[in-house]
C-alpha cells in the first residue's frame, strides 16, 4: 500500500501521443483520457490525473472530483468509473481510474442501502459488503466528493486495500430515470505479488457485479454460490473490522456535511 512511484517500471509518462484520447485539462497533456490496452468492455479507457507529478496509485480528492464530473457530463447512464488501490488489484502504480460503458442494468444501480452516518450508507444485503455514498444525500458536488474522499482516505491512511466504483443510479428502485450517482467503496483483503490474470480474483468491477474471467474452464465451472462465497470472503472481514471505527471517525470529523 505504501509502494513509492518508480520511474524505471511502466508508468503513464511513457505514453505515446496516439495513446492519448483527450486532454481534459489545460492542454498540456497532464490530465488526460488514454487508451487501455487490456479493455474489459466497450470504450474502456483510463483517466490519468496530474500525470507529470508521478503520483502513486493513491486516490486524491482532485481525481475523485474529476471522475464525478465526467460521470455527470456524460449523457449515458452506462458510463462506469472504477478505482483499484494497491493490493486491491491495481495494475500500474501511477494514479489512474478506469472508465468504460457497461450497457446492462445492474443491481447496485438501485439496491436498498442502510443508513449509517453523515451521508454514508451501508451495502449489507449483497455478497460484497461495503459502503455507499449517494449524490442525492448532499447539497452539491463538493460536499458529495468531500464525504466520499473522507471514507476512501480513511482506508488509505490505514493501509487497507480497497476498491471504488462510481455509477449512475436510480433514486427509487422502480424509477425509469437515473437521477442519482452512487459511489461504492469496498475494504477488502490484500492481494500481493504478480497478478494472476487467469484466476477469478475480484476487484472493483467484480464487486459491482460485472464479472470477468480470463479462463473459459473457470467460467464454465464457477457457480453462482461460488462467486457469492468469493465476494464475501474478500470483503466481510475487512468490512466488519472498519465499520464501527469508521463511524466514530465520521461522527467526530470536523468536516461535517
Query: Does residue 236 contact residue 129 with C-beta atoms inside 8 Å?
Result: yes
Task: Considering only CA atoms, give the Rg of the chain.
Answer: 18
108 C-beta neighbours (distance < 10 Å), count: 20
Distance CA(86)–CA(160), nearest Å, equals 9
Q: What are phi and psi for residue 193, nearest 5 degrees?
A: 90, -170
Distance CA(30)–CA(23), nearest Å, equals 8
Specify the residue for cell string 461535517: 256
Distance CA(34)–CA(192), nearest Å, equals 26
- Closest CA relative to residue 43, chosen from 63, 21, 59, 60: 21
Query: Does residue 53 contact residue 25 with C-beta atoms inside 8 Å?
Result: no
Identified catalytic residue from 65, 89, 96, 210: 96
User: What stretches of 170-215 adopt beta strand conformation (E)?
Assistant: 180-187
Query: Does residue 188 contact residue 238 with C-beta atoms inside 8 Å?
Result: yes
Active site residue 44: no
| H runs (alpha helix) in 74-187 | 141-157
Which residues does the annotation mark as catalytic? 96
Amino acid at each position: 500500500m505504501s509502494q513509492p512511484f518508480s520511474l524505471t517500471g511502466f508508468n503513464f509518462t511513457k505514453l505515446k501521443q496516439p495513446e492519448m484520447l483527450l486532454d481534459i485539462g489545460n492542454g498540456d497533456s497532464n490530465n488526460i483520457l488514454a487508451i487501455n490496452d487490456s479493455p474489459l468492455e466497450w470504450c474502456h479507457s483510463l483517466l490519468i490525473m496530474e500525470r507529470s507529478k508521478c503520483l502513486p496509485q493513491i486516490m486524491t480528492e482532485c481525481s475523485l472530483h474529476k471522475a464525478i464530473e465526467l460521470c455527470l457530463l456524460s449523457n449515458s447512464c452506462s458510463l462506469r468509473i472504477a478505482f483499484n488501490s494497491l493490493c486491491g488489484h491495481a495494475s500500474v502504480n501511477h494514479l489512474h481510474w478506469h472508465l468504460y460503458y457497461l450497457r446492462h442494468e445492474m443491481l447496485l444501480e438501485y439496491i436498498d442501502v442502510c443508513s449509517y452516518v453523515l451521508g454514508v450508507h451501508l451495502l449489507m444485503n449483497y455478497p460484497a459488503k461495503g459502503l455507499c455514498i449517494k449524490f442525492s444525500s448532499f447539497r452539491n458536488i463538493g460536499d458529495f466528493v468531500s464525504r466520499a474522499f473522507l471514507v476512501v482516505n480513511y482506508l488509505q491512511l490505514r493501509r487497507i486495500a480497497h476498491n471504488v466504483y462510481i455509477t449512475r443510479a436510480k433514486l427509487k428502485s422502480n424509477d425509469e430515470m437515473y437521477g442519482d450517482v452512487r459511489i461504492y467503496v469496498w475494504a477488502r483483503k490484500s492481494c500481493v505479488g504478480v497478478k494472476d490474470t487467469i484466476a477469478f480474483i475480484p476487484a472493483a468491477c467484480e464487486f459491482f457485479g460485472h464479472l470477468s474471467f480470463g479462463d473459459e474452464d473457470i467460467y464454465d465451472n464457477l457457480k453462482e454460490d461460488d462467486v457469492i462465497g468469493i465476494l464475501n470472503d474478500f470483503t466481510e472481514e475487512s468490512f466488519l473490522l472498519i465499520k464501527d471505527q469508521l463511524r466514530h471517525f465520521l461522527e467526530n470529523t470536523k468536516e461535517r456535511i
